[in-house]
Amino acid sequence: MQALVIAAHGSHLNPDASDPTYAHADTIRETGAFDEVREAFWKEEPHFREVIRTLESDEVFVVPLFISEGYFTEEVIPRELRLEEWDPDRWESDGTSASQATLEAEDVGKTIHYCGPVGTHDAMTDVIVQRAETATEDPDVGEGFGLSVVGHGTDRNENSAKAIKYHSDRIADRDRFDEVKALFMDEEPEVDDVTDYFESEDIVVVPLFIADGYHTQEDIPEDMGLTEDYRLGWDVPAAVDGHRIWYTGAVGTEDLMADVVLERAADAGADIGDAREAVRELAASVADTGPEPSAGTGTGD
Amino acid sequence: MTVATDDLETLLEHAAAGVAFDGLHVDESDDGYRLETPDNEWTGLDETELHHALESCEEYVTNWRYWQDRVGGEGTARRAFLRWCERAPLADAETDHATTGPWSERSEGDADAGGEPLAVPERYDALRDGIDREWGQLSITARFVDIDDPDGERVYDLWHVDDAGSDIAALEVYDDPRDARELATYDDDGRYRPLKTAPTLPAGWAFTGLSGAALVETVEFFYPATVANWHRELQGNLDVDHWLETAERQTGIYDVIDELPREAVEWMAEACCVDSQCLRRREWQYEAGDELDADGGDGPFPCREPCSLVVAAARKWTTLESETEHTYELELTTSELNQLEELIDAVAEDRTEDIREADVYDGANRYRARYLRAKRFDDEGELEATRVDD
């Protein structure tokens, strides 16, 4: 038997923070690739601390639903899962190349394949592009468009910006969009000045965040000038300084994220059969029918 | 009903190694088969005779099949939980711990309502009517799919204990375990429930006809990890992480919480870890061999470690407790001082909503509070108090 655990942050204050985790777990449940699929959280239940004991499987694949390698993926999650032999060097990562490490959870004696976060997986690049497609409702979006990947950025963790730049570069290499730019909330170049960085009239802005919340639904839309007050909502696209900004919130809510979770587990040796194809088909069919216009109905908390 | 051919075949397969389950024994020796139940024993049977003899104890056979084929998972918490649901003997229960856990004591005076396990014939009688257990605020019924001619197949119903007497037609009926996540997200006032074991689960819903696996999954969405930890407690191997251990493990912004003074940990436990706030029973202490005076509560689920809410709150209290105390001078009448106490108590007990609009005799009444503010707060909206120790 093999189990999948999706390890996410969750929130004591905001019930929506765990929505993407549940959604992607449910998608993977539908594929039947794992005997057990479990959500686990730092701020909700089941807590990282207790999740492994709720599983009957001996082989457990843990995929962190986090954007960057750093404090949570290298310190908090392995510690709380009781992966005593864990050492960040096991990932041999430069900040964006973590794959997996096989360890034992000491309280249960199960084999844990501890994977790198979804945010730094190559497949994440496709999700960002898909986000641009759903935001514009155009599966061929690219020509005449600029794309900005937006991250939090922080001086405390250099890996935080690395993931953003990594995917920006990969998308730029594809020559699909006229321009690609990594922008940040807390470091230069800042998302506040988004229009300064693009010549294209149309700019798709994709925030590399797991869940919609304060940053993606309040800070960023206001900082970019999409709206005076997030509670009033904003248009997609919204006119800012002679540009059209296409913005629909956290990339982590995109259906294709389930595929990244699966790829992480498969890279670590999980037998997932044709689950990836199933998820990609599902995500494509959702994209075809058009996105829910989520803009302006932000969670507001 | 008769013993099905495939049941017989499966039993024969297992007979060589010996079947011993819930009072049913089947063995194979050179003299033929031996069949034993608490009421009868047959020896030296050939296959046909064994089949015939099994007809007279088909309850034992269908019971064995249900647990063997449908439930499986020997030694798992899931299996133990499903056996608890129908009051079957728990093989792995340590006698010292056999009465711990969320045993239903709802029907006081009814000898059958307690923890005494039932043998197969009694259980089969009871499963026709349905066997009820309580798991926190959940009421679980185990029953046969076919009550007239039971083939051993069980299903499970689940609803809020407050709805145990409700007509099912009055409840919102679900069959997907994942729906439990939504139901557990908000309380009756629409407030988010970050603590799943808070005693604030809303009523008005029912899950019906769940398989055993789906029941456990549903319960896990309502009360994550409670089945696993209950099972560990039952086996006598619940691992407890005491306060200091958990506090010292923290890093980042929670690194400071091991500096929370011991007496503040007492206040914290008294504030957070009580039955009115959480259905878990605090098993963790300050540290091994250093028990907290605060009562751990009588909750049904063992709490093996400070939860993330306690850890987050502890950070705030660590900051607050690092402040120096001062002496302040402020003008209050005796009644106003009493009113401050009433206000704090009303908020702490979540009683403010219950105070009637016009009940000006309650110190926590809104108009009383507004009057006190109008009289005693200065232009900055602060209590007029003077520090006198410097």
**Which domains are delineated in chain B?**
5-64 (no CATH), 75-99+110-235 (3.30.1360.190), 243-322 (3.30.70.2320), 328-387 (no CATH)
Q: Tell me which residue in B224, B251, B305 faces A46 most closely, judged by beta carbons.
A: B224
Average pLDDT over residues B101-127: 66
The pair of three-digit structure tokens given for residue B15, joined into one six-digit string: 């007979």
User: B184: which residues sit within 8 A by CB, 6+ positions away?
Assistant: B193, B196, B201, B221, B222
pLDDT digits (tens, 9 = 90+) for A132-189: 999 999 999 999 999 999 998 876 777 889 999 999 999 999 999 999 999 999 889 9
Residues 111-170 of B with CB under 8 A from A: none
Contact B192/A45, CB-based, under 8 Å?
A: no
B380: contact with A, CB 8 A cutoff = no
B21: contact with A, CB 8 A cutoff = no
How far apart (Å, rounded) are the C-alpha atoms in residues B191 and B188?
7
What is the reported pTM? 0.92
pLDDT score at B95? 45
How far apart (Å, rounded) are the C-alpha atoms in residues B318 and B326?
18
Q: Describe the crossing of helices A275-288 and A123-136 by its angle, rounded to 10 degrees.
A: 20
Residue A29's SS3 state is helix
Is A294's pLDDT higher than 50?
Answer: no
Domains A2-120+255-288 and A122-253 agree in fold: yes
Q: How many CB atoms lie within 10 A of CB B109?
A: 5
Average pLDDT over residues B77-95: 86
pLDDT digits (tens, 9 = 90+) for B356-390: 999 999 999 999 999 999 999 999 999 999 999 86
Burial zone of A250 (CB within 10 Å; 0-12 exposed, 13-18 middle, 19+ buried): buried
pLDDT digits (tens, 9 = 90+) for B281-300: 999 999 999 999 999 999 99
pLDDT score at A287? 64
Q: Tell me which residue in B192, B196, B225 faces A53 most closely, judged by beta carbons.
A: B225
Residue A162's SS3 state is helix
How far apart (Å, rounded) are the C-alpha atoms in residues B375 and B340?
14
B222: nearest CA partner in chain A:
A45
Q: Are A107 and A74 in contact (CB under 8 A)?
A: no
How far apart (Å, rounded) are the C-alpha atoms in residues B385 and B332?
10
How far apart (Å, rounded) are the C-alpha atoms in residues A271 and A254?
24
Average pLDDT over residues B146-160: 93
What residue segments make up the domains of chain A, in order of their start? 2-120+255-288, 122-253
B87: contact with A, CB 8 A cutoff = no
Contacts B78 to A, Cβ<8 Å: 56
Confidence category of residue B2, pLDDT binned at 50, 70, 90: low
Chain B: nearest CA to A13, how far in angstroms?
7
Omega within 30 of 0 (cis) for the link into A46: yes
A46: contact with B, CB 8 A cutoff = yes
Size of interface A-B (CB pairs under 8 A): 64
How far apart (Å, rounded) are the C-alpha atoms in residues B163 and B297?
25
Contact B225/A76, CB-based, under 8 Å?
A: no
Q: Please give the C-alpha separations between residue B375 and each of B27, B31, B341, B381, B383, in angstroms, as whole numbers.
A: 87, 97, 17, 11, 9
Q: Are A112 and A147 in contact (CB under 8 A)?
A: no
A293: contact with B, CB 8 A cutoff = no
A22: contact with B, CB 8 A cutoff = yes
The kind and range of the H/E element at A26 are: helix A19-31
How far apart (Å, rounded) are the C-alpha atoms in residues A80 and B189?
33
pLDDT score at B16? 86
Confidence category of residue A298, pLDDT binned at 50, 70, 90: very low
B315: contact with A, CB 8 A cutoff = no
pLDDT score at B315? 98
Contacts B227 to A, Cβ<8 Å: 54
Contact B308/A13, CB-based, under 8 Å?
A: no
pLDDT digits (tens, 9 = 90+) for A223-269: 999 999 999 999 999 999 999 999 988 999 999 999 999 999 999 99
Q: Tell me which residue in A45, A47, A53 faces B228 most closely, judged by beta carbons.
A: A53
pLDDT digits (tens, 9 = 90+) for B221-259: 999 999 999 999 999 999 999 999 999 999 999 999 999
- The domain defined by A122-253 carries CATH number 3.40.50.1400: yes
Contacts A49 to B, Cβ<8 Å: 305
Measured at the alpha carbon of residue A255, what is the angle toward residues A249 and A261, in degrees to the nearest 5?
Answer: 110
Contacts B186 to A, Cβ<8 Å: 15
Chain B: nearest CA to A46, how far in angstroms?
5
Q: Among 3.30.70.1400, 3.40.50.1400, 3.40.718.10, 3.40.50.2000, name the CATH number for the domain at A2-120+255-288.
A: 3.40.50.1400
Q: Tell me which residue in B73, B197, B232 faces A56 most closely, judged by beta carbons.
A: B73
How far apart (Å, rounded) are the C-alpha atoms in residues B142 and A43?
33
Contact B225/A75, CB-based, under 8 Å?
A: no
Only one residue has tokens 């139940």, namely: B37
The kind and range of the H/E element at A268 are: none
